[in-house]
């Protein structure tokens, strides 16, 4: 999506450790007009699919998921970060590793919100190592729901997550795929 | 807002400790059609005000803030929960107490996203003891921005937050104010 690539080039900042900071429009301050256009693009890409629910993970996926849910006229569910070690029987859960923040945590979704008859589109802001996305996919699989695919805002194409998820047969539609970032702030797209 | 009150009566669950569980439509699964109507109501209530930015706090305020930002055609910013004890000079921060989860944490907003020329509308899902809202208000004050007011989905009228914030002269528009909840699940609205 050219508009998103242009915005990343304009307002994204490359930080040491191949971190891309896009918090002026994506994951701290949110440009809702841009989100709406991104949601319309996912709607176009997945227009042939039956979708009954959008699934994301807190916090920075929520805005994109809500705008997308609006396009599909379905509810959105966000997986919660579980900061306690208590896991109720009533939740699906997955262990997620954040390489950026050097943390591990569980994400949970109440079982009543993922049903075998659901057709799920996963939406998230970033795909890098794929830990969060694989966790969400695992919860959809555990619920018996049908996974329509995943819509990602920015995929780091030089990290393994995208390939890992596509190898599982999951359709991934990333609106911008970064091929390379260097320490001088240059960003090239696939 | 009658529609929200009806939904709380229908799908809300009163839990011990005066906890109201509304996670089937508000803060885990999100009914986006309802969110859109709530956003339009805040737009109507604050239509006389200049608003340049919506401010909320992760995670469950984000969806409402995004839909509201869409109505006002402005960006939304969410304060982040800061799980480390490091606070950079480049952020506004506030200490928040969660009575429901028996936790304390800092919330932060990058200074570059709150400017003296901004007119801020704060949006959040719940107002009970007011800790999060007072924290957000403090950050707006520190930035020199103008605070237009706060739009709250559900205010627990029997807890002190609403009064504390209104006593500061802040306009608070809660779409549903709970007067009383009992252990039998009965909910009355103001």
Q: A–B: how many Cβ contacts below 8 A? A: 97
The answer to whether A32 contacts B62, with C-beta atoms less than 8 Å apart, is no
Strand pairing class (A13-15; A19-21): antiparallel
pLDDT computed for residue B64 by the predictor? 98
How big is the CA angle at B138 (ends B135 and B140), to the nearest 5 degrees? 115
Q: Does A36 touch chain B (CB under 8 A)?
A: yes
pLDDT computed for residue B38 by the predictor? 98
Name the phi and psi angles at A119, rounded to 5: -120, 115
Q: How far apart are CA B120 and CA B147, in angstroms?
A: 5
How big is the CA angle at A27 (ends A21 and A33), to the nearest 5 degrees? 115
Mean pLDDT, range B108-132, rounded to an integer: 98
Q: Does A29 touch chain B (CB under 8 A)?
A: yes
Burial class (CB in 10 A: 0-12, 13-18, 19+), B64: buried
For all residues of chain B together, what is the average pLDDT? 95
pLDDT, tens only, B32-85: 999 999 999 999 999 999 999 999 999 999 999 999 999 999 999 999 998 777
H runs (alpha helix) in B28-130: 32-45, 62-72
Mean pLDDT, range A2-23, rounded to an integer: 94
pLDDT grade for A12, boundaries at 50, 70 and 90: very high
A-chain CB neighbours of B11 within 8 Å are none
- State the ipTM, two decimals: 0.96
pLDDT computed for residue B50 by the predictor? 98
Helix axes B62-72, B32-45, angle to 10 degrees: 50
pLDDT computed for residue A100 by the predictor? 76
DSSP state of B49: S
B-chain CB neighbours of A121 within 8 Å are none
pLDDT computed for residue B1 by the predictor? 97
The distance of B159 to chain A (nearest Cα, Å) reads 26
pLDDT computed for residue A111 by the predictor? 97
B73: Cβ–Cβ under 8 A, 6 or more apart, which residues? A33
B-chain CB neighbours of A80 within 8 Å are 28, 59
Mean pLDDT, range A86-97, rounded to an integer: 90
pLDDT grade for A134, boundaries at 50, 70 and 90: very high
pLDDT computed for residue A103 by the predictor? 86
Q: Does A114 touch chain B (CB under 8 A)?
A: no
pLDDT grade for B168, boundaries at 50, 70 and 90: very high
3-state secondary structure of B178: strand
Q: How far apart are CA B39 and CA B59, in angstroms?
A: 17
pLDDT of A107 strictly over 80: yes
Higher pLDDT, B154 or B100: B154
Q: How far apart are CA B62 and CA B66, in angstroms?
A: 6
pLDDT grade for A183, boundaries at 50, 70 and 90: confident
pLDDT computed for residue B172 by the predictor? 98
pLDDT computed for residue B108 by the predictor? 97
CB atoms within 10 A of CB B44: 10
pLDDT of B135 strictly over 80: yes
Query: From the list B33, B59, B69, which residue is nearest A58 (CB)?
Result: B59
The answer to whether B78 contacts A112, with C-beta atoms less than 8 Å apart, is no
pLDDT, tens only, A165-182: 999 999 999 999 999 999
DSSP string, A117-174: T-EEEEEEEEESS-HHHHHHHHHHHHHT-EEEEEEEEEEETTSTHHHHHHHTT--EEE
Mean pLDDT, range B88-104, rounded to an integer: 89
pLDDT of B94 strictly over 90: yes
A-chain CB neighbours of B58 within 8 Å are 58-59, 62
From the list A42, A57, A179, the residue with the least C-alpha distance to A106 is: A57
Mean pLDDT, range B154-172, rounded to an integer: 98
pLDDT of A86 strictly over 80: no
The answer to whether B75 contacts A23, with C-beta atoms less than 8 Å apart, is no
From the list A130, A183, A190, the residue with the least C-alpha distance to A159 is: A130
Q: Which of A29, A31, A65 is best to mutate for the B interface (most B CBs within 10 A)?
A: A29
pLDDT computed for residue A119 by the predictor? 98
B-chain CB neighbours of A75 within 8 Å are 25, 29-32
Burial class (CB in 10 A: 0-12, 13-18, 19+), A18: middle
């Amino acid at each position: 999506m050219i508009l998103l690539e242009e915005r990343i080039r304009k307002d994204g900042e490359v930080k040491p450790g191949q971190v891309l900071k896009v918090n002026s429009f994506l994951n701290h301050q949110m440009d809702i007009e841009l989100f709406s256009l991104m949601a319309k693009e996912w709607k176009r890409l997945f227009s042939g699919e039956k979708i009954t629910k959008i699934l994301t993970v807190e916090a920075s996926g929520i805005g994109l998921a809500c705008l997308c849910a609006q396009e599909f006229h379905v509810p959105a569910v966000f997986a919660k970060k579980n900061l306690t070690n208590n896991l109720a029987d009533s939740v699906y859960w997955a262990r997620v590793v954040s390489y950026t923040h050097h943390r591990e945590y569980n994400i949970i979704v109440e079982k009543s919100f993922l049903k075998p008859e659901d057709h799920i589109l996963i939406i998230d802001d970033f795909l890098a190592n794929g830990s969060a996305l694989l966790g969400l996919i695992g919860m959809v699989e555990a619920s018996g729901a049908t996974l329509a695919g995943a819509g990602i805002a920015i995929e780091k194409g030089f990290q393994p997550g995208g390939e890992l998820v596509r190898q599982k047969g999951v359709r991934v539609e990333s609106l911008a795929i970064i091929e390379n970032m260097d320490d001088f702030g240059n960003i090239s797209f696939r």
